[in-house]
């Protein structure tokens, strides 16, 4: 690999870093909305991988791009439903702190 050329590895490493940042946010944040945002970051890391594979491995097939469209669709639906759930929980508990969501503990 030449030093001045961008290959598939660059994109997969960038995607791994972005996925790690999102995972850190999901694991270590208190606010439920923040966790939702970080899930979006992880889904975007997946999209980078899909489109990079679509370009470098199967250039003429566009399957990676179509899967990226489906991921974007599901992510949009997930944000809508997730925010609605958070708003409904906020109406009951008056907080969005995940440490205080303890209905399922026994």
Partner 1 sequence: MESSIWTVLAFYILAATIVGSALLVVCLRNIVHSVLWLAVCFIAMAGLFLTLDADFLAAVQVMVYAGAVCIMVVFGIMLIQRGNMGQTNLFNSQTKVSAAVVALVITLCGALSARTQWATAGAPVPEKTVENIAQLLLSKYVIPFEVAALLLLVALVGAIFLAREVKE
- Residue 85 sits in the site that holds partner 1 (CB under 8 A): yes
User: Is-contact 62 85, C-beta < 8 A?
Assistant: no
Q: Is 72 in the site for partner 1 (CB under 8 A)?
A: yes
Residues 12-71 that bind partner 1 (CB under 8 A): 12-14, 16-25, 27-31, 33-34, 36-38, 40-41, 44, 47-48, 51-52, 54-60, 62-63, 65-66, 68-70
Is the separation of the CB atoms in 32 and 92 below 8 Å?
no
- Return the residue of 39, 90, 101, 106 that touches partner 1, per CB under 8 A: 90
Alpha-carbon span 72 to 24, nearest angstrom: 21
């Amino acid at each position: 690999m030449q030093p001045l050329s961008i290959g598939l590895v660059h994109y997969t490493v960038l995607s791994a870093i972005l996925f790690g940042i999102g995972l850190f946010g999901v694991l270590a944040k208190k606010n439920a909305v923040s966790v939702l945002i970080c899930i979006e970051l992880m889904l975007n890391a997946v999209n980078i991988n899909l489109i990079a594979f679509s370009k470098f491995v199967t250039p003429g097939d566009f399957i990676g791009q179509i899967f990226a469209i489906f991921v974007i669709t599901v992510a949009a639906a997930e944000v809508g439903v997730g925010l609605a759930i958070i708003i409904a929980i906020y109406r009951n508990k008056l907080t969005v702190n995940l440490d205080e969501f303890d209905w399922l503990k026994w």
